[in-house]
Amino acid sequence: MGSNMAEAHPVGFQWVMEAKARGARVIHIDPRFTRTSALADQHVTLRAGTDIAFLGGVIHHILSHDLDFREYVRAYTNASFLLSEDFRDTEDLDGLFSGYDPHTASYDSSSWAYESVQQEEGRPGDREKEHSAPFKHGASGPAVAGGAGEIACDPDLEHPRCVFQVLKRHFSRYTPEMVERICGVPQEAFLEVCRAWTANSGRERTTALVYSVGWTQHSVGAQYIRAGAIVQLLLGNIGRPGGGIYALRGHASIQGSTDIPTLYNLLPGYLPMPDVTHDGLAAYLESVAPRHEKGFWGHADAYTVSLLKEYWGEAATAENDYCFDHMPRINGDHGTYRTVMDMVEGDKVFGYFVLGQNPAVGSAHGRLQRLGMANLDWVVVRDLTMIESATFWKDAPEIETGEIVTERCRTEVFFFPAASHVEKSGTFTQTQRMLQWRDQAVEPPGDARSELWFFYHLGRKLKERLAGSTDERDRPLLDLAWDYRVEGDEPDAADVLRRINGVDLTTGRAVDGYTELKADGSTACGCWIYSGVYADEVNQARRRKPRFEQGPYDAEWGWTWPLNRRVLYNRASADPEGRPWSERKALVWWDEDKGEWTGHDIPDFEKDKPPSYRPPEGASGPEGLRGDDAFIMMSDGKAWLFAPSGLLDGPLPTHYEPHESPARNLLYGQQGSPVRKVYGRADNPSNPSPPEAHGEVFPYVFTASRLTEHHTAGGMSRQLPYLSELQPELTVEVSPELAAERGLVHLDWAHVITSRSAVDARVLVTDRMAPLRVDGRTVHQVWMPYHWGHTGLVSGDVVNDLIGVVADPNVLIQESKVLTCDVRPGRRPRGPALLEYVREYRERAGITPRTGTRIATAGDDPGPPHMEPGPPEESP
Amino acid sequence: MTNEHSLHGPLEDPAADAGHVGHPPRVGFFTDTSVCIGCKACEVACKTWNDVPEDGLDLLGMSYDNTGMLGASSWRHVAFVEQERPLGRQDPGLAALPTGPSVTGVQQDVVAEGMRHAERGGAQLGTGPVDVGFPSFELPGASTGAEGRTDFRWLMSSDVCKHCTHAGCLDVCPTGALFRTEFSTVVVQQDICNGCGYCVSGCPYGVIDRRPDDGRAWKCTLCYDRLRGGLEPACAKACPTDSIQFGPLDELRERADRRLEQLHGAGVAEARLYGRDPEDGVGGDGAFFLLLDEPEVYGLPPDPVVPTRDLPRMWKYAGVAASALLAAAAAVFVGGGKR
Amino acid sequence: MGVKRWLDAWPVYRQLTGTDPLGRGKAAQSARSAALTPRTDTADRVADSVCPFCAVGCAQRVYVKDEKVVQIEGNPDSPISRGRLCPKGSASKQLVTGPQREHKVRYRPPYATEWQDLDLDTAVDMVVDRVLDARRKGWQDTDESGRKLRRTMGIASLGGATLDNEENYLIKKLFTALGALQVENQARI
């Protein structure tokens, strides 16, 4: 679901085809019939943006027919834990959970806690919402204070306040009828999926779930994945061979760029970026790893101090908190969209580095991106080719509309040619967390250089420039450990990787894993979860032992974090006593004779901790984990069906309509996510959704995604003849029914309109697009690929110009997979007439900057519209 | 002196028939279209290895096919066929949706118009493309009418030179540019081809074609250079789902027979092999296919026949060609001597 | 060239005297064809690499001859990809050797209508100046209630997801030391 694997990950799809050849049933659930559907046993067309309703229906089906894997659920999830008496569900509050504040559009999550866990104070979520705080839990469960203690539970799962019963009630109205009315999926097709999923799960069989950005790019994206996780946990499909949830990431090292983040709210290894409340290392550590919780997150002090030692080397001492105060503090939303809006407003952001990325085409609301860049002092673009983000000052679409005038655009632009993947060494982390090293093949041509070269020398020159400065501001830079090995003038990536792995400063040796890291300043480690990649002083990511010469888990090809474990939480592949659930599905197990865990994969558990282990009173951290606490990163050792903390938009996934939707929420008074992040401002208008009026002006559901033949914003594909000829033009796919309704002709021009812009495309009328019946109404969906821009061998309008900025509060990822639109035959107006055309549409739909910002629609107090501070309303 | 079946009918060992002594086994492709995901890796891998130029940036609107047909600069071509038919027991998810009539017929009309204008190198010399049709979207009469679509399937298939047992292109080539290799494949030698274009009309599949810029004829070589180095052809190596399988033809035929049986058992009654039969009009193909519909649907001729089946007439033709070869060869050597 | 070899090289002669009476096989094989080998055989070296497009992480072999990339194809040893590549991966050679690559630093001064040339070192020095200037202009010591911020809002960065881990590490580390925190990448997009 939410993945077009055959098209976006063709080589990965070979394993799906192989499974199919061996008898696996393949089901593809997606708004349109794609090349993935063509090879599936069953395709289910569903309305974009309604996956939680569908998955909620599956959960309801499982629970109402007692189809869950009860022993697994009881042992490894928090199903039996009792919740606080203060908790109120969406069933009680018309789509809201307890603790909602319509004025800040955020939750105080203190009532979502376990009954036996004391909450000292309220936990207002408005601050976390700005920090995208839940994103910081990428490598661990969020905190549950006292998670290591005894948690009140009902092993029979019958107590009305136990998680299992709460879950049952929460999804009680997600019936097949409701799924049909909301998603447009006929009941029989839905039930067929339920039957296949449950019949192929349990002791002897497992089912795998695959998703991609079709799930993440939503205002409730994190909850989509939670919903999938709940299904997989109820059916016992996590930590077991053939099971799991596959997040197929879209780019060579997008996994790596969150593990070792270039993200504002994260430090390497998912340690949070310090914020203003952290007035010292102790306060920071207190918030990162509160005491008396279970799991390996309990050693966060060692991970943090080791990072500080790697950053500031000799200068970092126990006396100065290991230079903790050298770090800048966050105090709000500093995400990429916020930053771009600041650029547009002016006088806040002055310079912008764009590194192998093409926001003028690839980011939502392309127009905002380009206007932002045209309002800076300078931009540095580093890329293989001349991309739209480097040439906006002379050929952006806004030149044609008169919004950017070259001679009046002050932005100074530096274009640095970049080294390609074969012209430098280094690691990518692929979608299964595997680091693979690339050897350099040739030298980069001309002025082309790696980012490693550029940033190493930029840092070196900055340090030289500031040498001798007594300004306290410059201290962090002057103290910075920047002594990487250099060959010629190229920094040695292997040395950087070794420091990321971590070094024992007393011996100078690379550490073998994160369990060796210390909080006393005697180890330095750039990213604790990558610790072990240089174990034994060997670049483990460079291993290339042929698959023909090793076992099915290929442990000697590359290196997978953590500690080369291929299947996370694989302790759950064995029963509480440590025996495989079945011989067919054996992965790791307890060897009583040897007194250790063993198996096909590296056990994701302390090797010598027996299943019967029970922690002593007061134990916490890893020591607090029982021998059957399979989920070792969670603060209570259990997988969470119900999330007592860590999410800003509720402890359970709930169906909310997308920010822009043609339909009213049939389940609750609350229409959309009550805590979604809206940016109400004149240059970021929204199309109206019920209960707002005039949704009929934008009657169709719009979704966008990739084609096999191109790559993202096109910088690596639209420039290549061999790829461009395969998909030479931007197209819009519509059903024959919609074509008839709007007079669209195959291969003729049409244009798609939203309140942001209108874009041209050639029409593909195809049976692969089919209308849906949603609550008795016919709903049409429209699809476009988003690879085109105005440079390259093949060019076209920027599809991202159609999309506004609305985000999931947990992670601040924009909702770009579903919006509403209109489609009309013929080409769009050009030049200033385009602005006028879109303005007329807004006027017809009664759109103001307030549209879509009054996000609470349940309860008596709808609260204020959530507007951006700044100039008052006016249409752009 | 020639084998009875040198020019038509079954031929056990085409390489030996062409004078290769102690040659390797005959190799070829088995393209199992039932697992093709239409990614076009074959097209790109082929072009990358063989330095085949880009072949036009035209949107054809033929589903996701913007290559159109095999040609001098497209040695692999992935056809996309949208049909209102079921695929085995696949559930396309249309049941109970509010759908109307299929659009495949309308698409076909639009696409047919565009395809008529597609350029082929041979046409300049009066050796226009063999009219084998183009991938259709629907079998005639298959439409269920206006009451609504209930079925749909999307077929993909990577087409390539068939490396026929009896190759029309080779038989009519007057210069010896086309030859049968020790692997029993059929290859154009670019150092010899003079661009006469006879081969273009000699091919019963419409595969071989001339490049407009240099006039010479080009087609798949089954990566002759790679074969000589013990490597598999670039397309087969890249193919993500192993839809394109390379190997000794005997093994491929066995594998194809097993696969066919398996699919029939799985309810895909429409699966059939194409080019597998040594008794067909070209003596069987070195590159053969498992199809899920009639060949015409994929743009393949239903009953290809090598033009040389009528031996006596063609032998005269070959005599003419041989004279031409003598003259051409002499010209080459004279020219070479002057330099 | 002696008469015998000259004759041997003549297809018609070979056809009349050899095992290929119809002249469609052995006899027609040109000298070039007879000497053909795959260009990967003559590569000076082969580098192990990984495809830079999607996140499957297909293993590539990069063949280099005379310091030029002559072929990129899949590595069959990989348990992830088994030597296969999609169309994008198969176009990798064009990606790294094609004429679309920019080889020179380009500079557009404020209000200019065209690109100018700029020396690489000079360009980096100019960026150093501008980083320090933007850092200063956007500097914030404390928030309104006096809590420490020690940061600059003057500099932002957006990275793609084809950056190496080692590169991302240095980027984050350097920006953090500069006090710049609006450091983002494609993972949020």
Which CATH number covers residue B330? 3.30.70.20
3-class SS string, A802-828: HCCCEECCCCCCECCCCEEEEEEECCC
**Is B235 labeled as ligand-binding?**
yes
Is the CB of residue A734 less than 8 Å from the CB of residue A822?
A: no
- Look up the domain containing A684 and give its range: 677-844
B276 is in an annotated binding site: no
| Contact state of B90 with A40 under an 8 Å Cβ cutoff | yes
Residue A517 confidence (pLDDT) above 50: yes
Residues A150-181 have pLDDT tens digits of: 899 999 999 999 999 999 999 999 999 999 99
The answer to the question of residue B4 being in a domain is no
| pLDDT tens digits, one per residue of B38-69 | 999 999 999 999 999 999 999 999 999 999 99
Domain-located, residue B7? no
Q: How many domains does chain B have?
A: 1
* pLDDT at residue A57 tops 60: yes
Of A203, A230, A247, at which residue does a domain stop? A247
pLDDT of C19 reads 76
DSSP H or E run through A354: strand A351-355
Which C-chain residues 4-43 have CB contacts (< 8 A) with chain A?
none
Q: Which of the four pLDDT bands, split at 50, 70 and 90, describes residue A738?
A: very high
Test A352 with C158 for CB contact under 8 angstroms.
Answer: yes
Does B239 show up as a binding residue in the annotation? Answer: yes
> Would an 8 Å CB–CB cutoff place C100 in contact with chain B?
no
Q: Would you call B1 and C38 a contact, using CB atoms and an 8 Å cutoff?
A: no
- % residues pLDDT > 90 (chain B): 68
pLDDT at position A591: 97
Whole-number Cα distances in Å, A139 to A296, A799, C167, C188: 10, 34, 21, 17
What pLDDT, on the 0 to 100 scale, is given for residue C95? 98
Subunits touching B (CB < 8 Å, at least 3 pairs)?
A, C
Q: Which domain holds residue B233?
A: 14-338
Cα gap A388→A379, rounded to integer Å: 13
pLDDT value of residue A604: 96
Mean of pLDDT values over B184-207 = 95
B18 annotated binding-site participant: no
| Residue A191, domain member (yes or no) | yes
CB atoms within 10 A of CB A160: 11
Distance from chain centroid for Cα A461: 35
* Residue-wise pLDDT tens digits, A560-597: 999 999 999 999 999 999 999 999 999 999 999 999 99
pLDDT at A812 over 80: yes
Give the homologous superfamily in CATH for domain C39-97. Answer: ADC-like domains (2.20.25.90)
Q: Contacts of residue A421 in chain C, CB cutoff 8 Å?
A: 49-52, 92, 96, 162
pLDDT digits (tens, 9 = 90+) for A43-52: 999 999 999 9
- Residue A604 lies inside a defined structural domain of this protein: no
What sign does the CA torsion over B302, B305, B307, B310 have? negative
Mean pLDDT, range A104-126, rounded to an integer: 81
C-alpha span between C178 and A599 (Å, rounded): 47
Confidence of residue A552 (pLDDT cuts 50, 70, 90): confident
pLDDT (0 to 100) of residue A618:
86
* Record: contact B2-C22, CB cut-off 8 A: yes
The residue-averaged pLDDT of A809-825 equals 96
Q: Is residue B167 included in any domain, yes or no?
A: yes
CA distance A387 to A533: 35
**Per-residue CA distances from B277 to B57, B274, B282 (Å):** 37, 8, 9
At residue A860 the predicted structure's pLDDT band, cuts being 50, 70 and 90, is: confident
Q: At which of A213, A232, A247 does a domain end?
A: A247
Asked if the Cβ–Cβ distance from A252 to C89 is below 8 Å, we say: no
C11 to chain B, closest Cα gap in Å: 7
Share above pLDDT 70 across residues of chain C, in percent, rounded to a whole number:
91
Does an H or E element contain C134, and which? helix C120-137
For A619-655, what is each residue's pLDDT tens digit?
Answer: 888 899 999 999 998 989 999 999 999 999 999 999 9
| ipTM rounded to 2 decimals | 0.95
Nearest-CB residue to A729 (from B59, B103, B156): B59
Domain boundaries, chain C: 3-34, 39-97, 106-188
Q: Is C144 within 8 Å of chain A by CB? A: no
Confirm whether A648 is domain-assigned.
no
Q: Is B20 annotated as a binding residue?
A: no
Residue A121 pLDDT = 58
Per the structure, how many domains does chain A have? 2
pLDDT value, residue A266: 95
Least confident stretch, A356-365, A612-621, A865-874: A865-874
**Residue-wise pLDDT tens digits, A646-694:** 999 999 999 999 999 999 999 999 999 999 999 999 999 999 999 999 9
pLDDT of residue A150: 82
Helix (H), strand (E) at residue C151: strand C148-159
Residues of B in contact with A192 (CB under 8 A): 91
Contacts of B136 (CB under 8 A, 6+ apart): B81, B108, B296, B297, B299
CA distance to partner chain B, nearest, from residue A734 (Å): 11
pLDDT at residue C104 is higher than 50: yes
Calculate mean pLDDT across residues A777-796: 95
Q: Where are the beta strands (DSSP E) in A37-108?
A: 42-45, 100-101, 106-107
Among residues B224, B176, B229, B203, which one has the least CA distance to residue B285? B203
Residue B137 CA to its chain's centroid (Å):
19
Residue B1 confidence (pLDDT) above 90? no
DSSP string, C58-78: -EEEEEEETTEEEEEEE-TT-
pLDDT, position A128:
74
Residues in chain C: 189
CB A675 within 8 A of CB A126: no
What CA dihedral angle connects A832, A838, A839 and A842, to 10 degrees? -170
B199: annotated binding-site residue? yes
Q: What is the DSSP string of A610-624?
A: -TT--PPTT--BGGG
- A247, A278, A299: which is the final residue of a domain? A247
Residue A732, token pair as written in the block: 């819009």
Contact B111, B134 (CB under 8 A): yes
Quote the CA–CA distance of B242 and B235 in Å, as a whole number. Answer: 10
In contact, B175 and B324? CB cutoff 8 Å: yes
**pLDDT surpasses 50 at A195:** yes
Residue A733 sits in a domain whose CATH number is 2.40.40.20
Instruction: Report pLDDT for B309.
Output: 62
> Could you tell me the pLDDT band of residue A438, with boundaries at 50, 70 and 90?
very high
- Report CB contact under 8 Å: C166, A493: yes
Q: What is the pLDDT of residues B6-47, one digit of tens each?
A: 677 789 899 999 999 999 999 999 999 999 999 999 999 999
3-state secondary structure of B303: coil
- Cis before A691 (ω within 30): yes
- Dmax (CA) for chain C in angstroms is 100
User: Which residue of chain B has the CA closest to A44?
Assistant: B93
Cis peptide before A562 (omega within 30 of 0): yes
Closest-CA distance, A541 to chain B, in angstroms, reads 24
Query: What's the whole-number average pLDDT of chain B?
Result: 84
Is B83 part of a structural domain of the chain? Answer: yes
Q: At what angle do helices A176-183 and A51-64 cross, to 10 degrees?
A: 170
CATH at residue A105: 3.40.228.10
Residues of C in contact with B179 (CB under 8 A): 24-25, 28-29, 33
Q: Do A728 and B103 touch (CB under 8 A)?
A: no
What radius of gyration do chain A's Cα atoms show?
A: 27
pLDDT confidence tier of residue A855, bands split at 50, 70 and 90: very high
CA distance readout (Å), A162 to A110, A116, A146, A653, A655:
17, 12, 18, 17, 22
For the cut 50, the answer to whether the pLDDT of residue B332 exceeds it is: no
Q: Provide mean pLDDT across the span B86-97.
A: 92
Cβ contacts of C85 on chain B, cutoff 8 Å: 41, 45, 238, 240
Find the helix or strand (DSSP H, E) in which C121 lies: helix C120-137
Query: pLDDT of A200-235, one tens digit each?
Result: 999 999 999 999 999 999 999 999 999 999 999 999
The pLDDT assigned to B123 comes to: 36
Residue B137's pLDDT band, with cuts at 50, 70 and 90, is: very low
* Residue linked to tokens 């067909």: B280
Is residue B1 included in any domain, yes or no? no
Q: Which of A801, A841, A834, A842 is nearest to A704 (CA)?
A: A801
Nearest to C91 among B44, B181, B182 (CB): B44
pLDDT band, residue C12 (cuts 50/70/90):
low
Average pLDDT over residues C157-175: 96
Total number of residues shown for chain A:
876
CB contact under 8 A, B155 and A38: yes
DSSP state of A451: H
Answer for the pair A719, A725: CB distance below 8 angstroms, yes or no.
no
Nearest by CB to residue C167, choosing from A259, A426, A526, is A426
Between helices A281-288 and A300-312, what is the axis angle to 10°? 140
**pLDDT at B134 (0 to 100):** 44
Res A181: pLDDT: 98
Whether the pLDDT of residue A148 is over 60: the answer is yes
Any domain includes B9: no
**Strands annotated E in A212-310:** 245-247, 266-267, 271-272
Which positions in chain C touch B40 (Cβ < 8 Å)? 87
pLDDT above 70 as % of chain A: 96
The model's pTM is 0.93
**Cβ <8 Å between A263 and C105:** no
The answer, yes or no, to whether residue A324 has pLDDT greater than 80, is yes
Interval B144-184: pLDDT, tens: 344 578 899 999 999 999 999 999 999 999 999 999 999 99
- Residue C144 above 70 pLDDT? yes
Contact C131, C157 (CB under 8 A): no
- Tell me, yes or no, whether B104 lies in a domain: yes
Q: Which of C21, C37, C86 sits opposite B240 (nearest CB)?
A: C86
Portion 698-757 of A in contact with C at CB < 8 A: 708-712, 716-717, 719-723, 726
Taking the CA of residue B56 and the nearest CA in chain A, the distance in Å comes to: 6
* C79 closest CB neighbour out of A350, A364, A557: A557
Q: CB neighbours of B249 closer than 8 A, spacing ≥ 6? A: B25, B26, B27, B28, B184, B286
pLDDT higher than threshold 70 for residue B97: yes
Q: Which are the contacts of B213, defined by CB distance < 8 A and separation ≥ 6? A: none
DSSP A557: B
- Across all residues in chain C, what is the average pLDDT? 92
Q: Which of A724, A739, A767 is nearest residue B149 as measured by Cβ atoms? A: A767
Name the phi and psi angles at A228, rounded to 5.
-65, -40
**Position B112 in a domain:** yes
Distances (CA, A) of B16 to A602, B181, C27, C31, C35: 55, 10, 12, 20, 20
* A73-107 confidence digits (pLDDT tens): 999 999 999 999 999 999 999 999 999 999 999 99
Per-residue pLDDT band at C13 (split at 50, 70, 90): low
Contacts of A412 in chain C (CB under 8 A): 107-110, 130
Mean pLDDT of chain A, nearest integer: 94
Helix (H, G, I), strand (E, B) or coil at A486: strand
> Is the pLDDT assigned to residue C26 strictly greater than 70?
yes
Closest chain A residue by Cα to residue C83: A11
A452 within 8 A of C164, measured Cβ to Cβ: yes
Q: Determine the pLDDT at residue A621.
A: 87
What is the rounded CA–CA span in Å between residue C46 and residue B94? Answer: 50
User: What is the DSSP code string of A94-126?
Assistant: TTB-TTEETTTTEEBGGGGSBTTSPP-S--B-H
Domain presence at residue A376: no
Separation between Cα atoms, residue A1 and residue A245, nearest integer Å? 11
| Residue C8: pLDDT over 90 | no
